[in-house]
Amino acid sequence: MPDLIREREGRPLNRSRVYKLASALLATLSVAGCTPTGQAPIESDEGSVAPVVKAPLTRVAFGSCAFQWAEQPIFRTIVDAEPDLYLSLGDAIYGDFDGETTFDVTPESLREEWGNYPHERRRLFELIGATGAEGVILLSGNVHFAEISRTDEGPYLLYDFTSSGLTHVNEEYPKAPNRHRVAGPFVDLNFGLIEIDWDQGIVSLRAIGTDGVPTFEQRVGFGDLTTDGASH
């Protein structure tokens, strides 16, 4: 797709990072969504062995943008949240793009986000629809603040939960227009916490500050993340 290869400041954009991010994201969603509660006995030379029973994930924490040389006290708060799984993420998918603005080359617009790759962005939405994947929630970071965005461009309402950063933030980035934003922005150290209530069929998305207190929350019903429950 040579028409998508553009240069900024004399350097071609690194599309491989975008593709790697998409692959890692979809793999993460697959792991989080496939949580068997039991398996058939495993046969071996020693006879039948009882399988390991895996309980469904109920608490997933994630974050991005951590200077490795900096103090990282927020990880104490993450540990206190007792997540079943912690994910370290990278670049934002599309959350801080309004879908219409033509980007000028500025230090801010040089961020590698999927708003700068409309064809790939569309391909992701089409892939979700073509594979029949349900329950998809996108997780992203890199923009140095937290927010939740929602779009109806997919087969059902797609949420992008952005959490960033763990050691530093940027007060200018959240000023970019974002007509998709439904929660936030929160511009301070934070991590994302996803709580899944399997009995009630609700996913709660929360941005947590260093004090352990949620700064905003978005509740999403399982039914809203299916083509049957789509209400564009």
Residues 142-191 pLDDT 10s: 889 999 999 998 999 999 999 999 998 989 888 888 888 999 999 999 99
Q: What's the N-to-C CA distance of the chain in angstroms?
A: 31
* Angstrom distance (rounded) from CA 108 to CA 88: 23
CA 155 – CA 136 distance, rounded (Å): 10
- Predicted local distance difference test score (pLDDT) of residue 111: 53
Listed residue (227, 224, 228) closest to 201, CA to CA: 224
pLDDT digits (tens, 9 = 90+) for 65-109: 888 778 888 999 999 999 999 998 754 433 444 445 554 545 545
Closest alpha carbon to 218 in 141, 112, 138, 147: 147
User: Residue 225 and residue 209: Cα distance in Å, rounded?
Assistant: 27
Rounded Cα gap, residues 51 and 182, in angstroms: 42
Q: Look at the chain and count its residues.
A: 232
Is 56-225 a CATH 3.60.21 domain?
yes
